[in-house]
Amino acid sequence: MEATVLYQEKKRGGSEWGEITLNRPQKGNALTLPMLDEIECYVHGLKAAKSIRALVLRGNGRFFCTGGDIEAWGTLTPNEMSGRWALRGIQVLEMIAALPQPVIAAISGHALGGGLELALMADLRVAVRAANLGTPEVGLGMISGWTGVCRLAEIVGVARARELTLLGSPISAEKAYDWGLLNALADDADAMELQIDSWLDRIFANSAPAMALTKSLLQAMHADASLRHAAAAGLARSTEDSSEGIAAFRAKRKPVFRSG
C-alpha cells in the first residue's frame, strides 16, 4: 500500500532540509488520523535533527490539501470530535509550528479547511496563482477546529478572518497575497520552486539558534488556544446542522440548515 505521507531529505549548497509531502492525490490529500500519526513521526525526528535546517510542506497532485477527510470525522460523536480529532490535529499541527527550523508551505493547489490550517503552521507560505485558499467548514455546520481561526486573525487581521471564516467562500491566491496570508505569489510551479530556493538560501545563511529562539517567542502566543478550539469543534459537531452538513456532503447536495 502506497504511503499517504512521504518524507525526503535534500541538500542544497552543502545544507540539508526536509520535505513532507501529503500523498493522497485521489482524495485531494485530505487528512486522516493515520496521516497525522505519520506527520508526527517525521516532525518528531526533525526536531532533534540539527543537520536539517528547514522543512518544506507539500501536497502531491492538484491540491495542497482539502482539509480533514469527512469520512474520518463525519461519524464521530461530539466528545470524539473534540478529543480524538480536534485535539489530535492541534497537537500534530502545533508540533510543526514549534519546530526550531523554519517551515515553508509550498501551496501548489487549493488549500482548504484543515489544509489551510496546516499551511498556517508554516513560517513562510508561497502559492501558485491558480490556487484558492479558504475555510469552508461553516457550510458543513462545522468550524475550523485546528486553531485556524485565531491564526488567521493574527496573520490577516480580525476583519478579514471574519470574512474568510464566516462566509466560508475561498479566496484566490492573489487576494490571499494582498491580505498577507501568503508571503509570495508564483505564476506557476517552476516559479514557486525558484521562490522556495531563494528562501532556503537565505535560511541557510542565517544563524540556526537565533532563528529557533525567535520562533519560540512567536509560538508562545498560541499556548492557550488548543483546548478552546477543541471544545468548540466538539460543540459544533453536537448540532443538527453538523449532521445535516455531513449528510449533504455525502449526497452531493446543498445542505438545508434549520437551526436559527
Parse the chain into domains and list their residue ranges.
5-188
Fold of 5-188: 2-enoyl-CoA Hydratase; Chain A, domain 1 (3.90.226)
For the whole model, what pTM was predicted? 0.89
- The C-alpha atoms of residue 75 and residue 204 are separated, in whole angstroms, by 45
Q: What is the pLDDT along the chain (260 residues), one digit of tens a residue?
A: 678 999 999 998 889 999 999 999 999 999 999 999 999 999 999 988 989 999 999 999 999 999 988 888 778 788 888 888 888 999 999 999 999 999 999 999 999 999 999 999 999 999 999 999 999 998 888 888 888 898 999 999 999 999 999 999 999 999 999 999 999 999 999 999 999 999 999 999 999 999 999 998 888 776 555 556 566 666 666 777 677 777 777 788 887 777 65
Instruction: Starting at the earlier edge strand, list the strands of the sheet with 184-186.
Output: 5-12, 15-22, 52-59, 103-107, 124-128, 184-186
- Could you list the active site residues? 117, 137
